[in-house]
Amino acid sequence: MPIATPKQYAAMLDAAQAGHYAYPAINVTSLPTLNGALKAFAESKSDGIIQVSTGGGQFASGTAVKDMALGAVVLAEAAHRLAERYDVLIGLHTDHCQADKVGKFLEPLLEATAARRRAGLGNLFQSHMLDASELPLKENMRLSAELLKKCADLEIILEVEAGVVGGEEDGHDTSGVAAEKLYTTPEDMVEVYESLKGLGRYMFAATFGNVHGTYKPGAVKLRPDILKHGQEAVMARYGASAEFDLVFHGGSGTPLEEIRETLAYGVVKMNIDTDTQYAFTRPIADHLFRNYDGVLKVDGEVGDKKAYDPRVYLKKAEQGLCERMKQACDDLLSTGRTLFGTV
């Protein structure tokens, strides 16, 4: 089963940490985006992480339903079936659940996994993200600790965040936050460790100026050394075993040298969404412009069904996303390092 078991998912993260590489984590919203991601990981011989956001789940449930948890379940169930055809390991994850959405997103998904386990099936998701970064750190960690205990009981890894990722994603806009909140301090990182120690396994999205979306060169001031200093502060006090499994949010558009620098500081997962959205949409736009008279019934003509059949341009979109994800595997040095068949 290429959807990783909890043991296999933990082994994936351990291997990335030890080998100084990371997994691309792509947000999917549909079967074409899911299939493009699976194809990319398989062709790269890279394990990987596929994730669903609250907005992605809502979209996948349909405009008449708009149920973020239901849509996430639908995409995850599809991934379990489709991934059986590929020889790589895939972890399923949920992205950026704010504190006020826990009751309608994370808790139903935890119950969905609990129901599967009672039926003798594997976990629906292998990890979830709580984004309580807008709360004061102590309140953030209190909620994180409560959810981490629940996740640990189900062999699920929780991703937490301290500091704020700038920009806008799925209608959650943090572009107006104070600049200092974009940088997690070493003291914050120590507090995160002390708050969650011994409660279960987790990943930590520490922020170092990263921003959702893509920007022109020089517009975003990344400071990857913040991750280094934070890791050093925690390990100086609690030993090498305290090293965080770090997550890089806002990876789209980041220069390669800055991506690679973060790998040396313990980043094992990098989210990529904006770049893959563009890579998916660009071939569609190209198809529509090149086949204008066929896609549209211009001046009373009948158009060309072979041009406006959605399967024609969605296959091109799937391939465009696939190619961008293969580049991400290369950038993060996960290409050729699948653990499939070994764990």
- Report pLDDT digits (tens) over 26-76: 999 999 999 999 999 999 999 999 999 999 999 999 999 999 999 999 999
Residue 220 has pLDDT above 70, yes or no: no
* C-alpha–C-alpha distance, residues 52 and 95, integer Å: 6
What's the predicted TM-score (pTM) here?
0.93
The DSSP annotation for 155-219 comes to T-EEEEEES--BSEETTEE-TTS-GGGGB--HHHHHHHHHHHTTS--EEEEE-BS-BSS---TTS
Closest CA to 207 of 230, 239, 176, 238: 230
Superfamily of domain 6-282+321-331: Aldolase class I (3.20.20.70)
Q: What average pLDDT does the structure give for the chain?
A: 93
Give yes or no for a contact between 36 and 325, defined as CB atoms under 8 angstroms apart: yes
Instruction: Show the tokens assigned to 87.
Output: 């020889």
Residue 131 has pLDDT above 80, yes or no: yes
Residue 169 has pLDDT above 60, yes or no: no
β-strand partners of 169: 172
The DSSP annotation for 259-282 comes to HHHHHTTTEEEEEE-HHHHHHHHH
- Mean pLDDT, rounded, for 203-226: 76
pLDDT interval class at 170 (50, 70, 90): low
Per the residue annotation, which of 47, 95, 245, 331 is the catalytic one? 95
Residue 215 has pLDDT above 70, yes or no: no
Instruction: Show the tokens assigned to 41.
Output: 């990981």
Give yes or no for a contact between 305 and 299, defined as CB atoms under 8 angstroms apart: no
Residue 211 has pLDDT above 50, yes or no: yes
What's at 324, amino acid-wise? R
Closest CA to 130 of 173, 162, 155, 168: 162
Q: Is 95 a catalytic residue?
A: yes
**pLDDT tens-digit series, residues 104-120:** 999 999 999 999 999 99
Strands 172-173 and 168-169: antiparallel
pLDDT interval class at 167 (50, 70, 90): very low
* C-alpha–C-alpha distance, residues 62 and 56, integer Å: 10
Domain ranges of the chain: 6-282+321-331
Residue 174 has pLDDT above 50, yes or no: no
pLDDT interval class at 178 (50, 70, 90): very low
